[in-house]
Amino acid sequence: MKVLSYNVNGIRAALNKGFAEWLKVSQADVICIQEIKALKEQVDTKVLEDLGYHHFWFSAQKKGYSGVAIFSKIKPNKVEYGSGIDHMDFEGRIIRADFDKVSIMSLYLPSGTNIDRLEYKFKFMDEFQGYINELKKEYPNLIICGDYNICHEAIDIHDPVRNKKVSGFLPEERAWLDGFINSGFIDSFRLLNSEPHHYSWWSYRANARNNNKGWRIDYALVSAPLKENIKRSFILPEAKHSDHCPVGLELNF
């Protein structure tokens, strides 16, 4: 099973930049999408259906904002829209598809762009941890793909010294992600790749992408019982439909 995760920064914009053609070549069985910035009705979904994908959308209440989706060639047994926690679901940040041997979640964790949003980010993270602790009891084979808006370690950011007081690399955010991973997850990329300079997001400013001055904030976190199933993990920086790029893994069952 090949699973990808991609913050597309607007699905309609990504489609206009060749996303569908790229998706066809990618051969993904399941792709988790974040920041769709659209309602399902605003998207030409026939192009996805023509590629053989079932598609499931969970948009924010606010138009043109946030939102997540899952496209899958394998028909899920069940799709869960949201978490049941009102403030998370109002912003369209969680969708999950359950398959025979694994459950896959698309997550868009808030960014801390200002003090109010940073406070909300910590509230979200705290309640998300509790939600996942309970969910894992029912679905122990869980993969949480998405944009976490946090770099875990210094190796995951191009300039750890200058960014240590910037949201996304604050000590408190990193400590939360560390605790979340240690609660029973594996960073699938770091399991198989220990080299620096691998990033999944670049600022649009200062030619950051061409200079590879990036941040690794997109993850495919895999619950511990699936560790032996992880065959390959990777980042695809050559895909350029967004300020993010896709991350992914392959599992053997």
Listed by start position, the domains of the chain span: 2-251
Instruction: Give the tokens for residue 217.
Output: 């904030």
Q: What is the pLDDT of residue 109?
A: 98
Q: What is the pLDDT of residue 223?
A: 98
Sheet of 142-147, strands arranged across: 78-81, 94-98, 103-108, 142-147, 218-223, 185-187
Give pLDDT tens digits for 28-65. 999 999 999 999 999 999 999 999 999 999 999 999 99
CB of 70 within 8 A of CB of 31?
yes
The answer to whether 147 is a known catalytic residue is yes
CA distance 142 to 151: 21
Choice among 98, 147, 187, 218 that is catalytic: 147
pTM over 0.95: yes
What is the overall mean pLDDT for the chain?
A: 98
Q: What is the mean pLDDT of residues 198-204?
A: 97
- Cα separations in angstroms, 2 against 14, 233, 244, 248: 21, 10, 19, 7
CB of 219 within 8 A of CB of 235?
no
Residue 182's SS3 state is helix
Q: What is the pLDDT of residue 220?
A: 98
Of the chain, the percentage scoring pLDDT greater than 90 comes to 100
CATH topology of domain 2-251: Deoxyribonuclease I; Chain A (3.60.10)
Residue 248: which pLDDT band, with cuts at 50, 70 and 90? very high
